[in-house]
Amino acid sequence: MAFSITSSFDSDFYLSQNPDVAAAIEAGLFESAEQHFNQFGFSEGRDPNPYFDTSFYLEQNPDVAAAGINPLNHFNQFGETEGRSPNAIFNPTYYLEQNPDVAASGISPFLHFINHGASEGRSPNASVASQTSEGFDEAAYLAANPDIADAIANGTFSSGYEHWLLFGFDESRSGAQNTSGDPIDQPSNDGTPNDSPDDSPADPDAPGAGGGGGGVTPDTTPPTITSSPTFEINENETDVGTITANEASTFSIVGGDDQALFQINSNTGALSFASAADFENPQDAGSNNVYEVEVQAQDASGNTSTAVIAVTVEDASEVNGGTIQAAIDAANAGDTIYVAAGTYAENLVIDKAITIKALNGGDVNIAPASGVAVTFATGVDGDVTLDGLDLVGNGTSTRGIDVTPGANIGTLTFTNGEINGFTDRGIFSTDNADPTNLLAMGALVVSNSTLSDNGDGGGNTAHIKLFGFNGNATFENIGLVGQSGGSAIGSRPDNAIELIGGLNAPNSANPAPANSPDIGTVTFNGVTVSGEYHKNPIGIFNFGELDGLSITGLDLSGAVSSWKLFNIDGVTETNIDGSSYGITFPNTTDVVAEFQGEKSANQGTVDTIITGTSSSDQLNGKEGNDTLNGGDGNDILIGLAGDDRIDGGDGIDSAIFSGGSENFTLTRQADGSIVVVDNVGTDGTDTVVNVENFVFVGGTTET
């Protein structure tokens, strides 16, 4: 019998196993069973359906437990493909290895087992397979479990073995043995460490399934609010802080003299003012800028507790009619400066850790007549945030932000703003090849912003250029807009974003230095690059390892350049995997990305594995015995020195060699590969598969 279930949430099962949740929904505390599971249930060890064991999954996967994420979602999105087991009996890796038809179909092995595999007698793990190699003793199992015999008779199950695989093992049913009479030793989900209450996959409502999950002991203990009873915030802000409790709870406002001025997120506990507080015009009942509100935490069983919260609003520096620079000079490290809407023709110099923020979300333009809009001098020694500011170059100023060597910024955050019209660069930093003594900044965050019309002055221009940078960088929800209308090469920015790790001199990245740093934690998410560029719109150069590079959302489909749209070069990473990056390229057969190994003799010889994207790529192994995997697209593969393995994959691919064809010997092997031997130069002996064109100096040989 096929149950035809999915691995999604089963509301009927969840409510049957958790009557307290059903009561809470009836009382209006939750809208649905799934809402309860997502907010509280999985952290309490409750199961979302009859087959997925929450506690087992979290116990076996401490990384998932530590992350605090929904285990069912994790299994469906990642866990199954990573070979993680959803319960005590099913091993997806084993199942796929033993059932190539399932592997070839591409369907979920867990769903196949539940809907088909169990009824077909396929084993869920190696232990069960070994113990039942002589067969499962149907007679013994049905004799011990007459209800299952009845369920088979009415078509609920195809066999006793199917029932045992899906439910019986977890119910510890007697009579489970092989045909030699040996009991089958398979622990139930109840046997997993710290698994209480029982979160078995047995469905007590399924005919013949017997009872499975135990009930939940009524909870009469109210939650304890653990967050501070006092908060302090600057005027002009709305976010107060987060109310927390010692257990999963929903939050609400139930009283306080100033309750009407507040709001709270019932799920997260985030407390905020409905509108920004003004220190000069207090609205609290005491007119002393101390606001009181009473909050309540309610757990899944309906138990509640309350706490009175006092929020003190502090005076803050405000620029309204004066200059921003005067406020910066008067500020102390850690201060926030609020800038009223307007245009400020200033060249700001910041030498301390401060926040500059648009007042009440107003339109603040910093528009110098020339030079740099914001310069970070040496000795900032802390974090800086620019929030809601537009830096305007008007085609006459050179840079939006310039981070001086030795500024020593912790994290520079530019958010909710624009940088446009600067002739050189929107954001620039350098350590002058001396990161130890002249660190510019440890991290850069650019979010919810647009950079456009920068870099039309020619000569190594960019929207963002980090020169000699081994820190962390986050680019999130930003637009990078190049020139348009068939602009001249010299009026285009070279790059949208260029990250260069190691420098060999203050103004030189070539050749790559021997001590190129590993890349920091660098994230591209929600980044859209469009318009015309002179060189690579995205370039990442002169790094060691690339483990910290994460590209989950980079859209280059609207970018135009005669160079490759994306380029990694001069890295000593041994495994460069372009297929792991979430990049959207234009719909073209042209080569759009370039992945390259070590850049110079300074970086030594590296045996590199390079894998391309699903678009057309150019892979360049350079020195070393490299492995090049083109994947999809019409790829260009260049092994150069060393004995390389070149696999073009799908598409019409070309392998490039550095000498004339008369200097090479090509021999087809029995397996279809072609061995290419360089008899004169340094290309070595390469093994080539799935490549249509062999390109030599002076001509092309097609296979």
**Statement to judge: residues 482 and 420 lie in one domain:** yes
User: What's 273's domain CATH number?
Assistant: 2.60.40.60
Q: Are residues 163 and 239 in the same domain?
A: no
Evaluate whether 573 touches 604 at the Cβ level (below 8 Å). no
Q: Domain for residue 221, yes or no?
A: no
| Rounded-to-integer distance, Cα 52 and Cα 47, Å | 6
Residue 230: CB atoms within 10 A of its CB come to 12
Structural domain span for residue 272: 230-314
At residue 545, what is the residue type? E
Domain membership flag for residue 340: yes
- Same domain? For 522 and 666 the reply is no
Q: Which of 267, 270, 261 is nearest to 249 (CA)?
A: 267
Residue in 305, 202, 209 with CA at minimum distance from that of residue 250: 305
| pLDDT the model gives residue 192 | 43
- Domain assignment present for residue 44? The answer is yes
| Pair (374, 413) in one structural domain | yes
Q: Is 200 domain-assigned?
A: no
The Cα-based distances of 159 to 2, 55, 209, 403, 687 in angstroms read 12, 29, 13, 72, 53
* Shared domain check, 418 and 291: no
241 and 169 both lie in a single domain = no
Both 522 and 557 in one domain: the answer is yes
Residue 529 falls inside a structural domain: yes
Q: Are residues 276 and 365 in the same domain?
A: no
Q: Are residues 404 and 507 in the same domain?
A: yes
What phi, psi does 482 have (nearest 5°)?
Answer: -85, -165
Label residues 543-582 b or e (16+ Cβ within 10 Å = b). Answer: bbebeebebebbbbeebbbeebbbbbbbbbbeebebeebe
Do 98 and 51 share a structural domain? yes
Closest C-alpha to 585, from 566, 569, 612 = 566
pLDDT value of position 205:
37
242, 230 contact by CB (below 8 A): no
Residue 313, beta-bridge partner list? 233
Are 79 and 16 in contact by the 8 Å Cβ rule? The answer is: no
pLDDT along the chain (703 residues), means of 10: 59 88 85 90 89 89 86 86 87 90 84 85 88 89 90 86 85 87 73 38 35 50 94 95 92 95 93 95 96 93 92 93 94 95 97 96 96 98 98 97 97 98 97 90 98 90 96 98 87 96 90 90 98 97 96 97 96 95 96 92 91 97 94 95 95 94 94 95 95 89 70
pLDDT of residue 229: 96
Distance between CA atoms of residues 443 and 450, nearest Å: 19
As to burial, measured by CB atoms within 10 angstroms (0-12 exposed, 13-18 middle, 19+ buried), residue 489 is middle
Domain end, chosen from 191, 222, 238, is at 191
pLDDT by residue (tens digit) across 419-445? 999 999 999 999 998 988 899 999 999
Strands 627-629 and 609-611: parallel
Q: What is the pLDDT of residues 75-90, one digit of tens each?
A: 888 888 888 888 888 8
33 and 146 housed in the same domain: yes
Do 545 and 589 lie in one domain? The reply is no
What is the tally of structural domains in the chain?
4
